[in-house]
């Protein structure tokens, strides 16, 4: 019975369902856990300046295992690796909820990162192998569901769970989602392996994992510990040196785990560069706005989440608009318009202050999501247009590495700018008050970065992405005429 059902379900449907489930779970996990950190600090008796090890351990582990995902999927099969990663992430989520000490919680978060690091690149490779170039816009619209909705839902759901139940439920919430996704995938996902994968590139994996891991740690801790801290400086330099060694080694390895030669493809390289800079501005500004609304304006985590949530609605609506416009004007102009829009909206967020209506904030967040959707759909549709199916797994690894590092760099830069201006200032007497100019400075920086991304978008060649601008469906008039002619012949 299950075999018959599997045949009746299109591979496009099965891959889309399991990928959206996995992406939604992993992306929501990042923001939902941040809401629970103060409560975890109190209940596990951990100093507040150490509790962020929960997030940092996850991010570092994520960075270590992303580079291996492409080779593992090609060698052992994308279905097998994807389901294994989903099982690890789901099990680790349950263990995080059961943790009885801070050390256990950090260890289980690292295990979560192992699964999360392989989920996204493997799932993206499955999606782009399933959808041909002329259907990539549809695939990109599917991707915007988890990438737009999940991060914005995290603070809202997290605030409700922490307030009404327990911080442990920010981890337990992943379990039923993960179990359902695993069961569906085990029954219906198609398997795919690549021939002639070759031996595992151990030296490349070690250089990539340790280099990205140490760099991500330095970027995450630099704003709080200070960039002049000997520990941060040494880890940052070590990460850069290791990644430089990775570039030198992989260019001389016949079958590298990180295929840097793919960056010789102009369309893929320019799209990855736009993703790197664009996500710096977008996710960096979302992170800073969450701090601004809570620490700067005094909103609760739940109210702050509800105020930023319209961004997700903007992404959802904007993706539908982008899907219709993309085939007509191509990726370069859409990327430019989207990133200029992000720059304009982040600049307008500087107008937010103590007396500002929250409806103005929500309107701006909605417009921010609409603008980002134009860039995001275009990026995800065009980036892999000239990548062969055999190289899709390796390309997905590179693309997602750029996305992950870009997000970390964006948060680090914006937080550093705000901290340099000073997040607090002396008020009357000895009282200390939030210094809103610091948050405004960070948002202006995000606006400048978005403009840089718009400049990088000029390198994207519409002609190379032409295959993604063609519709796979016949025009409505032609289809109707064909139907009428067939009826006449009958």
Is residue 422 left, alpha or beta, with left meaning phi > 0 and alpha meaning psi from -120 to 50?
left
User: Rounded to whole angstroms, what are the CA distances from 184 to 19, 146, 180, 336?
Assistant: 11, 18, 6, 39
| Exposure string for 54-77, b = 16+ CB within 10 A, e = fewer | bbbbbbbbbbbbbbbbbbbbbbeb
pLDDT at 4 over 80: no
DSSP 8-state class, residue 195: S
For 384-411, how does the pLDDT look when each residue is reduced to its tens digit (9 = 90+)? 888 888 888 888 889 988 888 888 888 8
Q: Which residues have a Cβ under 8 Å from the Cβ of 362 and sit 6 or more positions away?
A: 307, 309, 310
Counting residues of the chain whose pLDDT is more than 90, the rounded percentage is: 35
pLDDT surpasses 80 at 202: yes
Burial class of residue 254, CB neighbours in 10 A (0-12, 13-18, 19+): exposed
Class for the domain spanning 1-200: mainly alpha
Task: Average the pLDDT over 416-421 and give the result.
Answer: 87
Contacts of 439 (CB under 8 A, 6+ apart): 288, 291, 292, 296, 418, 423
List CB contacts of 264: < 8 A, sequence separation 6 or more.
none
Helices (H), strands (E): how many in the chain? Answer: 18, 2
Counting other chains too, the contacts that 221-229 makes at CB distance below 8 Å and 24 or more residues apart are 221/56, 222/412, 222/416, 223/411, 223/412, 223/415, 223/416, 223/419, 224/49, 224/52, 227/416
- Token readout for 154 is 């995290």
What is the model's pTM?
A: 0.85
Q: Are 339 and 448 in contact (CB under 8 A)?
A: no
Q: What is the pLDDT of residue 486?
A: 38
Average pLDDT over residues 14-32: 84
The sign of the torsion formed by the CA atoms of 386, 388, 392, 393 equals negative
- Residue 437 clears pLDDT 50, i.e. is over it: yes
Same fold flag, 1-200 and 263-490: yes
Token pair for 9: 């379900």
Instruction: Return the domain boundaries, the chain.
Output: 1-200, 263-490
Q: Is the distance from CB of 77 to CB of 191 less than 8 angstroms? A: yes
Residues 238-268 have pLDDT tens digits of 999 999 999 999 888 888 888 889 999 999 9
The CA distances from residue 154 to 33, 40, 51, 53, 88, in Å, are 8, 16, 18, 19, 21
* Half-sphere exposure at residue 32, Cβ-oriented, CA atoms within 13 angstroms: 27
Kindly report the backbone phi and psi dihedral angles of residue 232, in degrees, each rounded to the nearest multiple of 5, phi listed first. -65, -45
Question: Which pairs with CB-CB distance under 8 Å and at least 24 residues apart come from 251-254?
Answer: 253/201, 253/203, 253/204, 254/198
Residue 487 backbone zone (phi > 0: left; psi -120 to 50: alpha; other: beta): alpha
The rounded mean pLDDT for the chain is: 85
Model pLDDT for residues 299-341, shown as the tens digit of each residue = 887 788 888 889 888 988 898 898 889 989 999 999 999 999 9
pLDDT at 431: 63
Q: Which residues of 186-203 are buried (b: 16+ CB within 10 A; e: fewer)?
A: eebbeebebeebeeebee
Where does 263-490 sit in CATH, by number? 1.20.1250.20
Per cent of the chain over pLDDT 70 is: 92
Residues 6+ apart with CB under 8 A from 179: 90
């Amino acid at each position: 019975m299950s075999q018959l059902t599997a045949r009746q379900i299109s591979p496009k449907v099965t891959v889309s369902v399991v990928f959206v489930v996995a992406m939604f779970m992993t992306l929501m996990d990042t923001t939902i856990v941040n809401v629970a950190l103060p409560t975890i600090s109190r209940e596990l008796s951990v100093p507040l300046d150490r509790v962020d090890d929960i997030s940092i351990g996850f991010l570092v582990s994520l960075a270590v295992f992303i580079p291996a995902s492409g080779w593992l999927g090609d060698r052992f099969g994308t279905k097998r690796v994807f389901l294994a990663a989903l099982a690890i992430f789901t099990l680790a989520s349950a263990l995080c909820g059961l943790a009885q000490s801070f050390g256990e919680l950090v260890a289980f978060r690292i295990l979560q990162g192992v699964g999360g690091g392989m989920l996204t690149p493997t799932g993206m490779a499955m999606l782009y192998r399933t959808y041909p170039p002329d259907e990539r816009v549809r695939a990109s619209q599917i991707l915007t569901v988890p990438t737009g909705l999940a991060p914005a839902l995290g603070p809202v759901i997290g605030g409700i769970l922490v307030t009404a139940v327990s911080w442990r439920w920010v981890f337990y919430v992943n379990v039923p989602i993960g179990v359902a996704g695993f069961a569906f995938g085990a029954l219906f996902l198609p398997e795919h392996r690549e021939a002639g994968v070759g031996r595992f590139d151990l030296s490349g994996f070690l250089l990539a994992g340790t280099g990205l891991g140490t760099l991500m740690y330095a970027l995450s801790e630099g704003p709080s510990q200070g960039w002049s801290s000997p520990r941060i400086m040494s880890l940052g330099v070590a990460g850069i040196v290791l990644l430089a060694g990775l570039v030198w080694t992989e260019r001389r390895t016949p079958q590298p785990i990180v295929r840097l030669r793919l960056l010789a493809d102009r369309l893929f390289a320019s799209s990855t560069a736009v993703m790197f800079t664009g996500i710096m501005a977008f996710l960096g500004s979302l992170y800073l706005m969450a701090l601004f609304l809570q620490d700067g304006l005094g909103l609760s985590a739940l109210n702050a989440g509800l105020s930023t949530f319209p961004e997700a609605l903007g992404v959802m609506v904007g993706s539908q608009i982008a899907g219709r416009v993309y085939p007509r004007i191509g990726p370069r102009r859409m990327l430019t318009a989207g990133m200029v829009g992000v720059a304009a909206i982040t600049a307008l967020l500087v107008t937010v202050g103590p007396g500002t209506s929250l409806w103005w904030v929500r309107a701006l967040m909605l417009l921010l999501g609409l603008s980002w959707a134009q860039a995001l759909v275009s990026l995800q549709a065009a980036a892999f247009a000239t990548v062969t199916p055999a190289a899709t797994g390796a390309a997905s690894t590179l693309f997602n590495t750029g996305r992950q590092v870009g997000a970390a760099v964006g948060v680090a830069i914006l937080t550093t700018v705000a901290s340099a201006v000073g997040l607090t200032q002396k008020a009357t007497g000895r009282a200390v008050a939030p210094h809103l100019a610091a948050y405004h400075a960070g948002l202006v920086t995000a606006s400048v970065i978005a403009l840089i991304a718009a400049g990088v978008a000029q390198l994207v060649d519409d002609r190379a992405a032409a295959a993604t601008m063609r519709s796979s469906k016949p025009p409505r008039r032609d289809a109707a005429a064909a139907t009428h002619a067939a009826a006449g012949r009958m």
